[in-house]
Amino acid sequence: MIPLYAYRDNTCDPRKCTVKKLEKAGFLKVYTKISQIPRNTLLLDPTAEQALSPADKHVKSITVLDCSWMVLDTGKVRSWRIHRALPFLVAANPVNFGKPCVLSSVEALAGALYIIGEKERASELLAKVSWGNRFLEVNKEPLDLYSNAKSSTEVIKIQELFF
């Protein structure tokens, strides 16, 4: 089982924070400093040049950035050895429902797990929020296609079908 981590800077509403729910349920470990995150983790980074694909299934761990991108030191993020962007997915969370590429942390982690073949685990994470199953319903077709892709390049081609 791939360990899950989150960098959290406490800028979000703690009552709505999906990372806090996942931490409480024992699904991930939270770090409050970027320097604490294991350097061999795959960092989910929307600014990454390479898309996440099933070819990434052998990573040592996955880390989501649960923070305000306005205050994040993107230089530190871009210097990460392994960082990937999620392909096109639509949010199902109550704050950003229907918005493309504006995912909550639980949606980002679940999407990543689904793409690399850990579909049951993705469902387990999403079960921790009342609207979690809706994320899988809304994104079923793209997630299934992405999870059958051979490479990041193929994922990029598939995502073009949904723009």
Tell me the pLDDT tens digit for each residue of 102-154: 899 999 999 999 999 999 999 999 999 999 999 999 999 999 999 999 999 99
Number of separate domains in the chain: 1
pLDDT higher than threshold 70 for residue 72: no
Range of the domain at 64: 4-162
Q: Which residue has the higher pLDDT, 51 or 17?
A: 51
pLDDT in tens, 35-54: 898 989 999 988 888 999 99
What's the rounded Cα separation, in Å, for the pair 156 and 115?
13
Inter-residue long-range contacts of 126-129, CB under 8 Å, 24+ positions, other chains counted: 128/18, 128/21, 128/22, 128/25, 128/27, 129/18, 129/21, 129/93, 129/104
pLDDT digits (tens, 9 = 90+) for 74-88: 555 566 678 899 999
What is the chain's Cα-based Rg?
14
pTM: 0.92
